[in-house]
Amino acid sequence: MIPFRSQPQAPQLRDGYHLLADGLLPSAEALNRLLVAAGDQPRQPERWQRVLELSVWHLGVAGPDGQLVGFVRATSDLALNANLWDLCADPADPAEAEILAVLVHAALGRLRRELAGCSISLSAPPQALAALERYGFAVDPGGIRAMGLKLEN
C-alpha cells in the first residue's frame, strides 16, 4: 500500500479574522476596494453581480473590523475544468500571507471534495505563489503556461 503524501497543517487565521463562505455575498464596493488595494481594476456592480451568479462558490476573509480583506471565487463546467478567479488579499493588511494561505487551502480543499477529477487553473498574484506551492498546486507543470484574455469593463 502506498501512503498518501503528507499534507502540511491547515493554516489558521489570526484572532478576529473569519473565513466567509457562500452564504454572504460581498458588496461590489467591498470587492472593488479589495481589488484596487491589490493592484487590480475595479468592476461595475452589474459585472460583479453577473460573475458571482456564474461562480459555483466563493470564499472571503473578513478582518477584525468586519471589512473584506481576502477573496477567491470558483467557476467550473462541473465535469473536467475548474478555475479560481480574483484570488487576492489586501497587501496593507498585516495578515496578508496568512489570508492567502487560508484562501488557497480552503479553495483547493473544496475543489478536491466537490469537483474531484477536474483540472484546476488560476491566475494569481506573485504573493500567492508560496501558498499555492505549499498546498500542492504545481505552478506551470512541465513548463506548460496558461494564457488569458483580459476583458475590459
Q: What is the CATH number of the domain that holds 103?
A: 3.40.630.30
145 close to 107: Cβ distance less than 8 angstroms: no
Residue 2 has pLDDT above 50, yes or no: no
Looking at the DSSP bridge assignments, the partners of residue 85 are: 73
DSSP H helices, 92-150, are 96-114, 129-134
| Residue at 10 is within a domain | no
Distance (Å) of CA 150 to CA 46, 94, 100:
17, 30, 23
**Phi, psi angle pair for 93, to nearest 5°:** -80, 135
The answer to whether residue 151 is domain-embedded is: no
Residue 149 has pLDDT above 60, yes or no: no
pLDDT number for residue 1: 42
pLDDT digits (tens, 9 = 90+) for 50-107: 999 999 999 999 999 999 999 999 999 999 999 999 999 999 999 999 999 999 999 9
For residue 56, the number of C-alpha atoms closer than 13 Å in the C-beta half-sphere is: 15
Q: Is residue 41 included in any domain, yes or no?
A: yes
User: Residue 44, Cβ neighbours under 10 Å: how many?
Assistant: 11
Report DSSP state, residue 108. H
Over residues 118-132, mean pLDDT: 82
Q: In 3-12, which positions are buried (b, 16+ CB within 10 angstroms) versus exposed (e)?
A: eeeeeeeebe
Let me know if residue 152 belongs to a domain. no
Confidence grade of residue 151 (pLDDT, cut at 50, 70, 90)? low
Rounded to whole angstroms, the Cα distance separating 16 from 27 reads 21
**Residues 120 and 100 sit within 8 Å (Cβ to Cβ):** no
Mean pLDDT score, 23-31: 88
pLDDT for position 5: 54
Is residue 101 in some structural domain?
yes
Residue 110 cell numbers, joined:
473544496
In this predicted model, what pLDDT tens digit does every residue of 6-22 receive, in sequence order?
Answer: 566 889 999 999 999 87
Q: What tens digit of pLDDT does each residue of 132-147 get?
A: 888 777 777 777 766 6
Domain count, the chain: 1
Domain span including residue 101: 18-138
pLDDT of 146 reads: 65
